[in-house]
Amino acid sequence: MPELLQNILIILAVLIGASVSSIMGFGFTILISPILLLLSLDPKTVVVVVNFCILIISFMVLIQSKNHLPIKEMTPVTIGGVLGVPLGVLALNYANDNTLSLTIAIVVIILTTMAVRHITIPSMHNQIISMITGVVIGAVVGSTGIGGVLIAISLLSKNYGKLSHRAAISFFSTPAIIISIIGYAITGLLTQERLFLILISIFPIILGFTFGTKLLNSINDKTFQNGVIALTFASCVLILSKAIFQSI
């Protein structure tokens, strides 16, 4: 594929992903990672570029929704997330991507099923368990960039409104991804090619975020929760399909 066409398709994928992510507070990785892989980008490049994009989106969401942030409830899990990120960065270098993806998909399916059946997730009600959960999700963020799905499902049991939900996910994601990026730089994952892809993604991120924010005002809390669950199940199908296909 010609490089110019590849870059145009990357920009379009980022634009769509940013629009959805600005509404839900997560979902960017779920939507564009398969597309970037189909465009012949290697998995490590996809993770590094996607996490940079998520950082920009999370920062904008956090500024926009800071007054709705449940900071007391999110602090333990966020601290755990920061502690877990270095494990994820190491996993990105050494772990088997297919096995990791398959494990994550199974965990997400379990959590989503619990949310649908209105089973309370204790990780958001006990500070110690919450911090341990944060460590696990932080490792997932550093290695795959899809930790937002796990945070989103955990938050469903809290019945937050859409603004609090978005703010909480962004509050977790921002410091976790900053630590991830530092880890990528230290381990040599932050290459010139990946920095270029990040630079061409900045404008479509801002444009997509602006468009998504306008749509957010027309979505009620019930529709928002249903959207989170639907998007999560879709992510499971994509992750599982990719993992099974690669194992054949």
CA distance 12 to 2: 16
pLDDT tens-digit series, residues 39-73: 777 778 888 998 999 899 888 888 888 888 888 88
pLDDT for the residue numbered 132 = 86
Length of the chain: 248
Question: Highest-confidence range of 7-16, 23-32, 144-153, 232-241, by mean pLDDT?
Answer: 7-16
More confident: 104 or 96: 96
pLDDT tens-digit series, residues 106-131: 665 665 566 566 555 555 567 788 88
How many percent of the chain have pLDDT more than 70?
67
* Main-chain dihedrals φ then ψ at residue 76, nearest 5 degrees: -60, -45
Are 198 and 53 a contacting pair, CB within 8 Å? yes
CA distance 42 to 38: 9
Hey, what amino acid is at 174? T
Domains: count for the chain: 1
What is the crossing angle of helices 192-216 and 3-24, to 10°?
Answer: 40
Residue 67, both tokens: 């007054």
- What average pLDDT does the segment 81-95 reach? 86
More confident: 1 or 147: 147
pLDDT tens-digit series, residues 181-203: 999 999 888 899 899 999 999 99
Q: What angle do CA 95, 101, 102 make, to 5 degrees?
A: 115
- Residue ranges making up the domain that contains 40: 3-247
More confident: 238 or 175: 175
